[in-house]
Structure 1
Amino acid sequence: MEEISPKKSELKKSCVNCGAELTYAPGTTELKCDYCGHTETIAPSENGFEELELKPYLEKMGSQKHSEEITMLHCKNCGANQHIEENYKSLSCIYCGSPLIIEDAYKEEWILPGAVLPFQIDQKKAFQIFKKWVDGLWFAPNNLKKAALDPEKTRGLYAPYWTFDAQLYADYTGQRGEYYYVTKTVGSGKNKRTVQERRTRWYPASGSVSGFVDDTLIKASNQKTGVIPQKIARWNLKMLKPFDSSYLAGFVTEKYTIPLLEGHLESNKIAEQIADSWIRRDIGGDTQQVTSTDMTLSEETFKHVLLPVYVSTYRFKGKRYNFFVNGQSGVISGERPYSFWKIFFFVLAILCVIGLIYLFSK
């Protein structure tokens, strides 16, 4: 009988001492047993990153050797598709907190990640960042801390992104503008004066630009709620490591909901912006007008990458709030409630101070 090899993205390792599942220790290259403390080093990849040729995937998705099935749970409330490791005590959506039912798990084809950016801070550190953020909030309700500060609700997520590489070439026509100044007399009588007025001389310009566009990052998931804020969606991609499922142990892994084709179209828009920037730099002068651009992309490749985020959902007076911590840099962004009465009394105090100043000035 032919032996079936385990899924690359679902490989699990057990502790040699006690048999418990090993989990990734953020900021290291080790797997750790949370029960007995045993550690194992994650072996570095000998192959490095593998950029996948874009065209075959766009023509026939899922038929390549870099695709496989993974067990997924779909959140009916916000639309996130997530694979949750077995060591979680309760199954709930990492974005919106809605319960997930293990019986609803299903198999779905996905493009294997080509790279992963391992967590650099652990769950304890992420929770400390959140606590400090809550403590520093102005006009927050007094009982917010009691409602929000539950460390068990802070969970690590590997969020999916696409990266695209390409050789860019663009022909262009346009105009180069150079500033010059003329002296003009304005006003009359005592108000008569001279001013310098800026004008522009335009010269025709044309040419071509070319270069390599590296790692254009495009988000690969869409949710109705709990969208990762742009403020924290910045990672140092130079720290990417070749994909190894060991880095996923103990964390939630989200499957992309934005297909490769849609991500590619979005990356083309960014390539157009890059081309425009290169063209304007090539035209030179003080200002530029780009009349036409004929851009082509060649040797296009892509990667499916997983990037680290800590997510927490908490409820306050019947409303759900989210906060996010970048799992690499520790940058935080979140939603928060406001206390009507604190704002009211603050404004009232300001009005009283203004009133007193006015009375004393009389």
Structure 2
Amino acid sequence: MTMEATSSSKDPVTFPCPGCGGPMHFDSEAQAMKCQFCGREETIAASDEQAIEYDLELDEEADPKRTDWGIRQQAVKCQNCGGESLIPLLQTATLCAFCGSPKVLLQDDSADTIRPETMIPFQISKDEAVASFRAWKKKRWFVPNAFKKGQIDSSLAGIYIPYWTFDSDTYSHYSAERGDYHYRTETRTRTVNGKTETYTETVRYTVWRHVSGDYGRSFDDVLIPASGQYDGELLRKLGNFRLDKLTGYLPEYLSGFIAERYSVNRNEGWIRARGQMNDTLHHEIRREIGGDEIRGLSVGTKYFNRTYKHILLPIWNANYSYKNKPYRYMVNGQTGLVSGHVPRSAVKIALFTLCCIAVAVPVIWWILQNE
């Protein structure tokens, strides 16, 4: 089914239940809409919308269809961390979904925000996300035992994080000097106990030669976070999303969750994607050149057939405190992988350091005695 989004001045219901009129939210376990009052479930008809790769050179953002989310939304901005999210119109936000701060302000409708055409709906429930975190923290090193075994109260928010994906064909011309190791035996002399003696030694030397060539490469779905609330390393640790499971966007999937408004625009996203492509090209061209050493590598690359998509990916974001210090963790809403920050035990770190020293000192002493 495709439910019609509605709202009234008294009730922030987005998708009313056909049975009791209560709010229906997307349920990750049932993969259907579920009434928060009577528990009635309604299936969601699969979207027939196909992923479209938009030409990076063109400005399709002017198309009003690309800003129609199918549900009236309002922007919320946190005065504490600066995070911007989208929530259903008339819904009141009391806490920031990113940092947990109560300093949030409602802004104007986000009519100019590009909506995604594809997304991955939540597959992991809130309870499953909490269980994943509990199992994850028990495996952390150098954390206090009380933290490992204790119950941690955290505020979880289901957030759809915006991403860009970029495709491009590339043509590169490169030049460099390739160095190959060769070996020869040389006769040398040395003085031992006042006597001169000769000995032979194998000596390595490098033969350099100029190389150049062409290299072609196509890139598909280079994934770039469009979020301004998380560093790339934290998101990277969540693991790779299975983009083959992308489905057409439907507003029903957002019911009960929050969609972050992208703060990394399309052009900034392309610059970051191009940097990743450049790194990959340099690595592969070095492997193509071969040799034992490479110096003076110069690569000139042309990018063409550049396209992009805007997608939403599911993440459970949690803020918690331990001994009055704030921490954060995230759970991949598709796979259940966890990434986050944990408190450290100074005692465990000190004991580990002392153990390393205790092992290293005898080894170093033995090496010195046997030189």
Q: Name the TM-score, length of structure 1 as normaliser.
A: 0.79
Query: Which residue matches 1:35?
Result: 37
Distance in structure 1 (CA, Å) of the matches to 2:232 and 2:318: 9
Q: Select 2:86's aligned residue among 83, 107, 115.
A: 83
Instruction: Assess if the C-alpha contact under 8 Å between 1:11 and 1:245 holds in 2.
Output: no
Q: Deviations over 1:27-62 (max 9, x none)?
A: 6642223433322332223232111121223xx854
In structure 2, the partner of 1:162 is: 164
Q: Counterpart of 1:92?
A: 95
SS at match of 1:56: coil
**Alignment of structure 1 residues 207-218 onto 2, 5 Å:** 207-218=213-224
Equivalent position of 1:106 in the other structure: 108
**Could you tell me how far 1:272 is from its partner in structure 2?**
1.5
Which stretch of the first structure deviates more once superposed, 156-165 or 200-209? Answer: 200-209
With 247-256 and 181-190 compared, the bigger mean Cα shift is at 181-190
Q: Map of 1:206-355 to 2, 5 A cutoff?
A: 206-223=212-229, 228-232=234-238, 234-289=240-295, 291-338=297-344, 343=348
Match of 1:140 among 141, 144, 153: 144
Distance (whole Å) between structure 2 residues aligned to residue 179 and residue 322 of structure 1: 50
Q: Is the Cα contact below 8 Å between 1:73 and 1:100 reproduced in 2? A: no
Tell me whether 1:25 sits opposite 2:27 in the alignment: yes
Q: Does 2:153 correspond to 1:150?
A: yes
The answer to whether the aligner puts 1:121 opposite 2:124 as a matched pair is: yes
Query: Relative to structure 1, is the Cα distance of residues 311 and 181 closer, same or farther in structure 2, using a 3 angstrom cutoff?
Result: same
How high is the sequence identity, in percent, across the aligned residues? 31
Q: Residue deviations 1:215-253, cap 9 Å, x none? A: 111121223899844322532222222222222222111
- For 1:192 and 1:120, the matched residues in 2 are separated by 74
Corresponding position of 1:360: none
- Name the residue aligned to 1:357: none
The DSSP-based 3-state class of the residue aligned with 1:106 is: coil
* 8 Å contact kept, 2:13–2:23: no
Residue range with higher mean Cα deviation, 159-168 or 311-320: 311-320
Task: Write the letter of the residue equivalent to 1:130.
Answer: F
Cα deviation, residue 158, structure 1: 1.0
Residues 310 and 325, structure 1, Cα contact 8 Å, conserved in 2: yes
Matched with 2:177 is: 175
Which residue is equivalent to 2:365? none
Preserved CA contact (<8 Å) 1:62 1:111: no
Corresponding residue of 2:66: 66
Aligned residue type for 2:247: K
Distance 2:207 2:315 in 1: 50
Give the number of equivalent residue pairs. Answer: 341
Distance 1:145 1:172, change over 3 A: same
Deviations 1:65-98 (A, max 9, x none): 4134841100111111012358988631122111
Which has the higher mean CA deviation after the structures are superposed, 294-303 or 132-141? 132-141
Residue by residue over 1:172-225, the C-alpha shift from the partner in whole angstroms, topping out at 9 and shown as x without a partner, is: 222333333333467847898655444433333222122221111112122389
CA distance in 2 between partners of 1:258 and 1:26 (Å): 28
Gap change, CA 1:184 and 1:129, over 3 Å in 2 = farther
Distance in 2 (CA, whole Å) between partners of 1:186 and 1:106 is: 82
Provide, for residues 314-350 of structure 1, a one-character-per-residue CA deviation record: whole Å limited to 9, x for no partner: 233433211111222222222223455x559968x98
Q: Could you say if the C-alpha distance between residues 317 and 51 of structure 1 is closer, same or farther in structure 2, counting changes exceeding 3 Å?
A: same
Aligned Cα RMSD in Å?
3.8
Report the residue type matching 2:66 in the other structure.
H
Q: 1:135 to 1:270 in 2, by over 3 A?
A: closer
TM-score w.r.t. the length of structure 2 is 0.77
Q: Which runs of 5+ in 2 are unaligned?
A: 7-11, 360-371
Helix, strand or coil: the match of 1:111? coil
Moved more, 325-334 or 10-19: 10-19
Work out whether residues 78 and 225 of structure 1, in 8 Å CA contact, stay in contact via their aligned partners in 2.
no
Secondary structure, aligned partner of 1:107: coil
How has the CA–CA distance of structure 1 residues 246 and 188 changed in structure 2, closer, same or farther, with 3 Å as cutoff? farther
